[in-house]
Amino acid sequence: MFKDAKVGDRVWSIQYGWSRIIAINWESPEFVAQMEEGGVSFKFTTGGFILGHDLIMPTVFWDKVHIDPPPRPKRKVKVQVEVWANIYKDPPFNCGEKIHVHESEYRAKACASQGLIACVRLTGSYEVEE
């Protein structure tokens, strides 16, 4: 990666930021760079590995590295549902429906009419993506 590097070239280190090459030892081969702010010096190889650190991956590059994180994965959220149903023997109001569903117990009782068999609470849950 840095086979054509020269003293004075600018490099970007993930650890140290913008730095300049201040010395090159072609026998090793290793480079010495110095931070533009703070003056800390560090050595790195032609492959971009900082010497004295774990050599798992290069951390020195010709330009600033931009890492775009992937979007957060969509999470599934459990939604609880509760409704109240009035069940009729004979449908009220000539509507033909024997079950009337309401969002609350109060509404179910307020809407109860003749022929009501039971007022029951129905609960359940389902998952949705957040």
Query: Do 55 and 86 share a structural domain?
Result: no
Query: Do 15 and 40 share a structural domain?
Result: yes
The Cα–Cα gap between 59 and 14 comes to: 5
The answer to whether residue 34 sits within a structural domain is yes
Query: Do 109 and 81 share a structural domain?
Result: yes
pTM of the predicted model as reported, rounded to 2 decimal places: 0.52
Q: Are 21 and 62 in contact (CB under 8 A)?
A: no
Q: What is the mean pLDDT of residues 16-32?
A: 86
Domain range for 36: 10-61
The answer to whether residue 1 sits within a structural domain is no
Query: Do 81 and 124 share a structural domain?
Result: yes
Please determine, for residue 96, whether its predicted confidence score (pLDDT) is greater than 80: no
pLDDT score recorded for residue 18: 92
The answer to whether residue 28 sits within a structural domain is yes
Query: Do 86 and 48 share a structural domain?
Result: no
- List the alpha helices (DSSP H) in the chain: 105-110
The answer to whether residue 99 sits within a structural domain is yes
Amino acid at 6: K
pLDDT score recorded for residue 2: 87
The label of the residue with tokens 């703070």 reads 38
The Cα–Cα gap between 117 and 112 comes to: 10
The answer to whether residue 39 sits within a structural domain is yes
The answer to whether residue 68 sits within a structural domain is no
C-beta neighbour count of 100 within 10 angstroms: 21
The answer to whether residue 82 sits within a structural domain is yes
Provide CB contacts within 8 A for 119, sequence distance 6+. Answer: 84, 85, 86, 87, 105, 108, 109, 112
The number of distinct structural domains making up the chain is: 2
pLDDT score recorded for residue 94: 64
The answer to whether residue 66 sits within a structural domain is no
